[in-house]
Amino acid sequence: MLIAMKCLNEERYIERCIGDFHDEEWVEKIIVVDGCSTDYTVQELKRFKKVSVFQMPWIDEHPDMETHQSNAVLTYIPHGQIAMILDFDEKMSPELKNFLAKIGNIMPVGSDIANVSRGTFEVMRHEDSPHAIIGEDGWPIISHQIGQYPDYQPRLIKKDPRLHWVNSPHHVMFGWPGMVQGNIDADIIHYEKDDYRDRLRIERKWARAQSRRKMLGLPHDVFGCTVRPEVHKYTDPEEWK
């Protein structure tokens, strides 16, 4: 099976993320589209023999860059290939790994897309610090679950040129009339950022994309991204002048 990912300046997280599944027998290849990172992300990725790295520049002011990058990932998946889509702040649960090992190159329950259950977790942090407490496996120690659960997301696909992502930053996958979707109850574990300040930076980036759409007179593709009050000012185009 192929694992498909995108990244930008993920140098600190390559080892724990890729290392968690790289040596699994069922993982044939890992494709990563990098946004032209300015740290050592690409060098770290090239340490893993199953990884192929491709680069496409990330343009911050692009109103749909998140979606644009995700669709770039799809272009590197061969037609008809089964692929699991994963982010660098996510980890496959043992149940999900076992499930993927069993299905091989056959989509489950005759589906074209499988929505995988996903849980998001806040992490333990050092006292009076934005930094997470890291466990022996290199991942943050979980504090408690937050957000919606199960947050089913389209992550297991059989590549078809009609498949594409829309909406930034929270994606929706479109295909064709009659496309079959199924659910898999075997979790992706999504961790909040090691440094909480990185979360705020990402939310500002989401807000900037919204402000750019407003500046260009564009509506939302599907739905808007709700940002917290302390970040909301960045959805105003005037804030970025």
Tell whether 216 and 121 lie within a shared domain.
Answer: no
Tell whether 102 and 204 lie within a shared domain.
Answer: no
Tell whether 171 and 230 lie within a shared domain.
Answer: no
- Average pLDDT estimate for 204-230: 89
Question: Under a CB-based contact definition with an 8 Å cutoff, are residues 65 and 87 in contact?
Answer: no
Tell whether 216 and 114 lie within a shared domain.
Answer: no
Tell whether 146 and 220 lie within a shared domain.
Answer: no
The length of the chain is: 241
Q: What are the pLDDT digits (tens) for 42-90?
A: 999 999 999 999 999 999 888 899 999 999 999 999 999 999 999 999 9
Tell whether 7 and 57 lie within a shared domain.
Answer: yes
Residue 94 CB neighbours (<10 A): 9
Q: What are the pLDDT digits (tens) for 146-179?
A: 999 999 999 999 999 999 999 988 889 999 999 9
Q: DSSP secondary-structure letter at 197?
A: H
**110 or 35, which is more confident:** 35
Tell whether 125 and 231 lie within a shared domain.
Answer: no
Tell whether 12 and 94 lie within a shared domain.
Answer: yes
Tell whether 54 and 9 lie within a shared domain.
Answer: yes
By DSSP bridging, strand 153-158 and strand 82-85 are antiparallel
Tell whether 232 and 171 lie within a shared domain.
Answer: no
Q: What is the mean pLDDT of the chain?
A: 94
Tell whether 170 and 222 lie within a shared domain.
Answer: no
Q: DSSP secondary-structure letter at 132?
A: B
Give buried/exposed letters for 29-51 (b at 16+ CB in 10 A, else e): bbbbbbbebeeebbebbeebebb
Tell whether 154 and 44 lie within a shared domain.
Answer: yes
Host domain of residue 35: 2-197
CATH of the domain at 192: 3.90.550.10
Supply the pLDDT for residue 18: 98
How many domains, in total, are found in the chain?
2
